[in-house]
Chains A and B, each alone.
Chain A
């Protein structure tokens, strides 16, 4: 027994010796937790615009791997400070412009009066497409404006509960009416593109300001004048941008990246404000602003004198094809 005890002592001494010798090596390898530790301040300062601090995560949601994204602040600033200015200037500015224009120019009349003879301007399918797109646009615009400005303008009137219920339905309408709206855009593009290619005649129309500011002067135009071509391309390009950006917002797991989603919401909101402002002008000139214009999308048939004044070349083409009355009105003179 004593010998085994001394053996144990010797073993312990040997182990202790081993540790004593090993110690310098261990010190060399010792891990310094401070040396290269990630510092939040450094990471934040190194971030570029729109960047975020990301890492690895064990839950299967790639978006959750973003730890801090300071860009959220910029997005908030855009929503609460910049967008109201953009929207206010675009939409209220357009309403003021239209009001001033109405006061100065008044309603644009048919110079030669109504002839009583009608010419078909938009066939039923064209009108259907127009109103499909237009009715969707109005609901989309109102529900979209509600998201941006309802909290300030409508919530105090309705109260929190009623406003949230209304906004909930508005959001559903916004999400689902996007699809018939996009369908309408595609059909409009296909059926009207051929009449909306810019040409030399449009330059002449633009130089004369479309004859808008002077009574009785009407630059010649085919089926669509330069102004209408402008509206067509605003709708097509604006609508395409709204569709693409809206698509990402409807399917947020497509980009699966909060920075991309922020970008698309900004595009969606800014284009929407400009789009709404442009459509206010379109609605104005198609209804209050010009006598005889609404019939084109109402019954589809416009007065021949209106058509001759605003679309002289188109009337001539239609008459040549035998699709329009020749115009028995003796007062009718070719515009310009």
Chain B
């Protein structure tokens, strides 16, 4: 089985936010929730770069480690998913996540955040694949249909890559070699520790 990952080549990202829009559309993500977002660093200054960021589906995921009800699980492909039936909306995963991936449907005061929502790598949730119940809670399950995440599939500059971690890392390295520069595989060190291929 492949170990799937995301890789954003920041030297190619043009901050069009199409990945954000495609994600919201594909999964009918409610208002206020952004499973993916584009952050621009050094905005307006020389060397400005934009990075598209969502759940990085970490190895030894911090969210899973701190969840008080243990609602997270990792699939055979290395995708980190969670059960909204078990989630109590405590917010712990948000505190622990290095990438700000966990989102909550309510701008919750009195602790009423609602069930956590995050990027599923277009792989749904614990419900049976491609069922209406799964779609309602987690959105489309493209992986079950043999497709890759929509955000990477439609990225116009092929900045955002999804797929087998070893292969996309190789593609990125080839690009860096050919053009002679690269601002790094954003988040990889934090998400996959020091074993970027692991």
Q: Do A and B come from one complex?
A: yes
Q: Which residues of A contact B185 (CB under 8 A)?
A: 40
Note all chain B residues with C-beta closer than 8 A to A261: 91, 94-95
Residues of A within 8 A of B186 (CB): 40, 67-68
Known: A38-B48, A69-B100, A253-B109. A171 touches B88 (CB 8 A): yes
Q: Tally of A-B residue pairs with Cβ under 8 A?
A: 166
Q: Is the CB of B90 within 8 A of A54?
A: no
Bound-complex Cα distance A302 to B64 (A): 52
Which residues on B are within 8 Å of A, measured CB to CB? 10-11, 17, 20, 32, 34, 37-43, 45-51, 53, 62, 65-71, 85-92, 94-100, 107-113, 180-181, 183-187, 189-190
Q: Is the interface of B mostly helix, strand, loop or mixed?
A: loop
Interface centre among A36, A38, A176, A253 (most CB of B within 10 A): A38
Residues of A within 8 A of B39 (CB): 54-57, 64-67
Whether, in the assembled complex, A322 has its beta carbon less than 8 Å from a beta carbon of chain B, the answer is no
**In the bound complex, do residue B90 and residue A38 qualify as a contact, i.e. CB atoms below 8 Å apart?**
no
B43 and A55 contact, CB distance less than 8 A: yes
Contact of B47 among A38, A53, A57, A80 (CB under 8 A): A38
Chain A neighbourhood of B94, CB < 8 A? 258, 261
Q: Which residues of B contact A49 (CB under 8 A)?
A: none
Closest B residue to A176 using CB positions = B110
List 27 A–B pairs whose Cβ atoms lie within 8 Å, in order of A's numbering. Answer: A33-B181, A34-B181, A36-B45, A38-B183, A39-B183, A40-B183, A43-B41, A44-B189, A55-B43, A56-B43, A59-B37, A64-B34, A67-B53, A69-B100, A73-B96, A76-B62, A150-B68, A167-B69, A167-B88, A168-B88, A171-B89, A171-B90, A249-B111, A250-B111, A251-B109, A261-B95, A262-B95
Q: Say if the beta carbon of A25 comes within 8 Å of chain B.
A: no
Chain B, residue nearest A155 (CB) = B70
Contact A250 B109 (CB under 8 A): yes
A171 → chain B, closest Cβ, in Å? 5
Contact A40/B184 with A160-B69, A253-B109 known, Cβ cut-off 8 Å: yes
Interface contact B38-A58, CB-CB below 8 Å: yes
Closest to B92 in A: A79
* Chain A interface residues (CB < 8 Å from chain B): 33-41, 43-44, 53-59, 61, 63-70, 72-73, 75-76, 79-80, 146-148, 150-151, 155, 160-161, 163-164, 167-168, 171, 174-176, 249-253, 258, 261-262, 265
Q: Which 4 A-B pairs have the closest CB atoms?
A: A36-B47, A40-B184, A34-B181, A164-B86
B66/A80 in contact, CB under 8 A = yes
Contact of B40 among A56, A79, A174 (CB under 8 A): A56
Taking the nearest CB of chain A, how far is it from the CB of B37, in angstroms? 5
| Chain B residue at smallest Cβ distance from A63 | B100
User: Quick check: B34 and A69 within 8 Å, CB to CB?
Assistant: no
State the CA gap A147–B186 with chains docked (Å). 32
B105: min CB distance to chain A, Å: 13
CB distance B43 to A164 under 8 Å? no
Which of A35, A80, A150, A258 meets B100, CB within 8 Å?
A258
Docked-complex contact A147 and B180, CB < 8 angstroms = no
Min CB distance B84 to A, Å, is: 10
Cβ-defined partner of B66 (8 Å) among A66, A76, A175: A76
